[in-house]
Structure 1
């Protein structure tokens, strides 16, 4: 990769001129594009050290540009620019986090030269919401105290990803996904903090928050859609999960049959007798049970037959590789046959394009979710998406 090179994707002449001047003062060589395809071609040919991307140009899909950069394994430092709306900003942050892109920061209009200088000089990332100053952010410490403070300060939020009936295109529900909206570090994914919450016992409070928030969201948009919630293995150690779920459903008059509890394969193996007792009780109360990330753990036919699951979720690692890997397709096909023999519904995650959706449907998978339909969104964006989706059908 070349040193001190900047490629700009923007159609604002004033902003482009400003960024070019600031970058050249720092010794950068600068090039500029207004077309997304030309921008990608220029990256491949030039391999710039830095990129500046306007996410809200009318002629491009900014999120799709980020996904393309991820597929290219782009190592450039990326600066996002423009007056990003409340819906697009979290989507951009999540895309960057989930695909491990090197986002240096986000600059809002009007762009201030000294903020741009800091980003181009590879100083620590600035506050995503900065308007007139930079802020050096210390590394995020995740422990009992920081999680407790985040709970008290209401920094945890729930995002939602729709689940689709692959044969009809009908939305059948949403999966609730916990995020930590840190004031300095932005959106943090559960992989970074859930294991700490499990060790400290705070997972129970977080799970209840997701359940309560998720129910309120679902009830605000539909009387029939389902809500999927991830359940930690630690929650199967005692009856507090049962009591919490029953009390919350009673409090909001929410039918347990509309809630799908997702558990990983390994979760049910820590204490199989305890897991079977708790899951059987929940199933008797009407809750549906999904075995998540199937194919990546250690489940056996006997375990699947013994536990009262109602749904089998195909892991995204197989779905995202099914077009290129015959082994992945064979795993998916055999998993679907297994689910059918056990009377389980099937849902696939990680559907990123129409070919995957069509391929899964042809193999007999009934439900699916993934970026092809929608990425995880906050409640407001989810409502807008649902209205738009239903309006197109």
Structure 2
């Protein structure tokens, strides 16, 4: 019944139905009126005819002129075709005469024939009775004709109404048909064709609103297409593959990078296909798949090793959409370089780059593993702690480069004299450690003798001189007498220094009753002195200027720590800093310097920026970056005015923690400088991992820079690398005009040294600001 869908057809049918019902009711009413009128007319005819018959026949009956009576009755039937039968009765109802219409069948009367009996009176005197039958068929025919005429007129009216209504509806709904056509075009995506003017009536206003809606949809569609184009361009330029599956696990979208990662043929279409089938079309094979921890609910992550050597990180995320039922969002990322970098960082974090041995970080991990193993096996864990005798003399006399060669030689020699189950470490500088599981003390002593003899038979050529390498070894054991694995290094350290006291090139086993402990107690006394200096405000800050090389203008100040002893004399940092670093007090000293420096910058914003030296122990203080940030926020100092200097040796010794610490300082907004750069010269390998801003070239390369071609080459290389990496350089120990001029020639950015400025408590650039602080931990 598609024709019934049309609004005009429904209106036409509705009007025709209503009109037909009204006309039907009208016909019923008119029919009742015709019937009532017909009955009334028949009654009148009967009454008039009865009076006529009475006047015609009553006198003849009264006079008993029966012959005339019959003749008169025949004449009446002849004159009145509708009169079928006449019968005259006397007063006693006895028939006197009767006459029938010869053309009618009186036995079977016609429809419409009515019988009547009346009294025949003459002057109100009853003379007899009359019975007659009168045919009223003409009235029935008339009534039938009227009814037929009404049906014809009604049908004609309905047809005319339908025709006129159809024409009228066609005219009135012309605008609606145009709107329907326009909406169908919009449904097909055609928003360009405007809707024609439809008049000023309601349909016209509807058409105008519809056209405004079309224009709005057209604009929004254009914006959406533009946004979609931008989004597709963005997704296609991303270095990760993006793919979306619908609720039926069929592909709805992918970017170009997805094809690139899986080396898929760009000419194929993968829409509305399962991802599993698509990956089968890739020329690459998944060699292994490892599930890794998700970062959020509804996420699944896998690392896939591909046949071409790459590692792909697949992340699958649930997408919930009420309209579409949701689906899955897949992100494919090539993490090959990241994995290689992580492996490299892991290697750098646990291995010493100079010697290739395990470093201090690896030592801390391994000592606990081996202690646990030894305790389970009811054996001893022996720690042999040793350094090279007179190694400082080699560095100072022949330079750090030759010192590094010596350390490499020692490491290579040691590798050939240890067993595969023994672990050798370089802890920093010339300090080495060897961990070994032994059955008794004698086995460890035998190992120590083997090391001493191996190194004693190793010589190193220094120009025309040959130097023999000697070492002093301290041995400690777990679980006895060191009940705690953490105490092994300090006990071995005490034993090592006792071996040096005995003349070096020997070994000593840790003895809790050793006199060396007395000296360690003295060191503890120093720790108490440092505590007093902190509590009694006997720590001072002295400042040395750092100047721009090209114009010798002051760039910033370096804060240097000094302590006054009981006699109020200044103690050189070399006397208390090593002790403070060993017992952890250096962290509190660092906080003091940070607090005071920030306070001074807040007191006078016009003073130069301040550089602060931080100990390597600060890397272990995870709360220090927060402390710095709080101090900066409290005093409202710009973080860019603080430069933190980290020594290269300590940074390289624990590169992973150092890198995180540097990132934290950068997040605050501070500048970071790598101090004593070049001391190991293996440090170039770390520059791509350490995001420092400034390199401070170690003073050993600067002191005779104007006369040493070797130092000049080293410094020139350092400056070239630093500039290539976008880092500034500072030269320390500038002690003459010639050294300053050479630094200028080589392109060094800044410098400090006694030629430019000496450390001073009241530096001229500070004005009258005091460097003292009545300080409490915040």
TM-score over 0.5 (shorter chain): yes
What residue in structure 2 maps to residue 273 of structure 1?
Answer: 656
Pick from 652, 668, 680: which aligns with 1:297?
Answer: 680
Contact 2:527 2:583 in 1 (8 A): yes
Q: Deviations over 1:204-245 (max 9, x none)?
A: 211111112223334445447321110100100131221221
CA RMSD of aligned residues (A): 2.3
What residue in structure 1 maps to residue 667 of structure 2?
Answer: 284
Contact 2:601 2:637 in 1 (8 A): no
Report the TM-score, using the length of structure 1 for normalisation: 0.59
What residue in structure 1 maps to residue 700 of structure 2?
Answer: 317
Q: CA deviation at 1:246?
A: 1.0
Pick from 718, 722, 727: which aligns with 1:335?
Answer: 718
Distance 1:319 1:253, change over 3 A: same
What residue in structure 2 maps to residue 205 of structure 1?
Answer: 588
How many residues end up aligned between the 2 structures? Answer: 248
1:56-75 correspondence to structure 2 within 5 Å:
none
Contact 2:555 2:609 in 1 (8 A): yes
Structure 1 CA distance for aligned equivalents of residues 574 and 705 of structure 2: 25
Q: CA deviation at 1:376?
A: 0.4
1:41-190 correspondence to structure 2 within 5 Å:
143-184=526-567, 186-190=569-573
Pick from 244, 255, 265: which aligns with 2:627?
Answer: 244
1:339-378 correspondence to structure 2 within 5 Å:
339-378=722-761
Partner SS for 2:688? helix
Tell me, yes or no, if structure 1 residue 326 matches structure 2 residue 709.
yes
Tell me, yes or no, if structure 1 residue 254 matches structure 2 residue 647.
no
Q: Which has the higher helix share?
A: 2
Larger radius of gyration: 2
Q: Deviations over 1:167-206 (max 9, x none)?
A: 1222111000001122427211222111211222211211
Contact 2:662 2:691 in 1 (8 A): yes
Partner SS for 1:306? coil
Of 219-228 and 314-323, the range deviating more from structure 2: 219-228
Contact 1:290 1:313 in 2 (8 A): yes
Contact 1:224 1:258 in 2 (8 A): no
Distance 1:235 1:205, change over 3 A: same
Structure with bigger RCO (C-alpha 8 Å, 6+ apart): 1
Structure 1 CA distance for aligned equivalents of residues 642 and 540 of structure 2: 19
Distance 1:246 1:384, change over 3 A: closer
Q: Unpaired segments of 5 or more residues in structure 2?
A: 1-521, 770-778
Q: CA deviation at 1:385?
A: 11
Structure 2 CA distance for aligned equivalents of residues 236 and 350 of structure 1: 27
Partner SS for 1:302? helix
Tell me, yes or no, if structure 1 residue 216 matches structure 2 residue 590.
no
Structure 2 CA distance for aligned equivalents of residues 368 and 250 of structure 1: 30
Q: Deviations over 1:275-306 (max 9, x none)?
A: 21121121122111111011113543331111
Q: Deviations over 1:318-369 (max 9, x none)?
A: 1111122111111111111111111100111111121111110111011111
Contact 1:256 1:285 in 2 (8 A): yes
Partner SS for 1:278? helix
Report the TM-score, using the length of structure 2 for normalisation: 0.31
Of 371-380 and 155-164, the range deviating more from structure 2: 371-380
Contact 2:523 2:579 in 1 (8 A): no
Partner SS for 1:203? helix
1:1-12 correspondence to structure 2 within 5 Å:
none
Contact 1:264 1:291 in 2 (8 A): yes
Distance 1:222 1:173, change over 3 A: farther
Structure 2 CA distance for aligned equivalents of residues 298 and 267 of structure 1: 14
Contact 2:652 2:683 in 1 (8 A): no
Q: CA deviation at 1:251?
A: 1.7
Structure 1 CA distance for aligned equivalents of residues 737 and 643 of structure 2: 26
What residue in structure 2 maps to residue 234 of structure 1?
Answer: 617
